[in-house]
Amino acid sequence: MDHVKVGRLGIFPRVSRPVFLTSALLIMAFIIFGTLFNEQAELVFSQAKAFVSLRFGWFFIVVVNLTLVMSIYMIFSRYGDIRLGHQNEKPEYNLVSWIGMLFSAGIGIGLIYWGTAEPLYHFMSPPLGDGETIEAAKLAMNISFLHYGFHVWALYGMVALALAYFHYRVGLPLAIRSTLYPLIGKKYMVLWVILSTS
């Protein structure tokens, strides 16, 4: 199923040229826009952020809470017993080791870098109210707990489960596009791969 053509591109040994070049051009366009047109970029991005926050903030809150509820349901339902591998395979690691690796990979870099920076950032410049106040400190800790609490783990888990299921059980490539297989089917998956590699 994985028909993505990869090859050498400069110092990169295995790169899909269309995907890499498209991404690189978009990133460079944003960098150039932000560097050369600093004030306009600040205005455009702040207006876009405000629009999304004001119009769709409720939607993000609902989706994250539903994802947490769905994750808890999947843990305790019959779906929690689905093996992420072939039916006769044994787990490579025990449960404690697996949870330790999952926790370390998911939170390690975030805590090292953002563990103190995020609360301080929100304390100095909170999204609501004045900075450097008792209310700003409480809000900063609430935001940090949200970003490192059950909700974010539900989001990580849902993406990881979808990727693992479709890779290890169904045999699709370990790519986000594989999680869309039930929605778009095999015919459209092949078309998507052909279009992304041509």
- In this prediction, residue 102 carries a pLDDT of 78
Residue 64 lies in a domain: yes
- In this prediction, residue 138 carries a pLDDT of 94
The structure tokens 């455009």 sit at 44
Name the token pair of 20. Answer: 């890499």
- In this prediction, residue 19 carries a pLDDT of 82
Higher pLDDT: 140 or 111? It is 140
Could you read off the pLDDT of 134-151 as tens digits, one per residue? 999 999 999 888 888 888
Region 181-189: mean pLDDT is 72
Alpha-helical regions (H) of the chain: 17-36, 38-76, 95-124, 134-148, 150-164, 181-197
* Distance in angstroms (rounded) separating the CA atoms of residues 165 and 79: 11
Could you read off the pLDDT of 13-48 as tens digits, one per residue? 888 888 888 999 999 999 999 999 999 999 999 999
The H or E element containing residue 14 is strand 12-15
Residue 105 lies in a domain: yes
How many domains does the chain fold into?
1
- In this prediction, residue 26 carries a pLDDT of 95
pLDDT of 109 > 80? The answer is no
Residue 183 lies in a domain: yes
Phi first, then psi, for residue 45 (nearest 5°) are: -70, -35
Residue 18 lies in a domain: no
Residue 181 lies in a domain: yes
Residue 46 lies in a domain: no
- Give the domain range for residue 133: 58-197
Name the token pair of 17. Answer: 């040229």
* Distance in angstroms (rounded) separating the CA atoms of residues 90 and 183: 30
- In this prediction, residue 1 carries a pLDDT of 45
Nearest to 148 by CA among 189, 192, 182, 103: 103
The answer to whether 20 and 12 are in contact (CB under 8 A) is yes
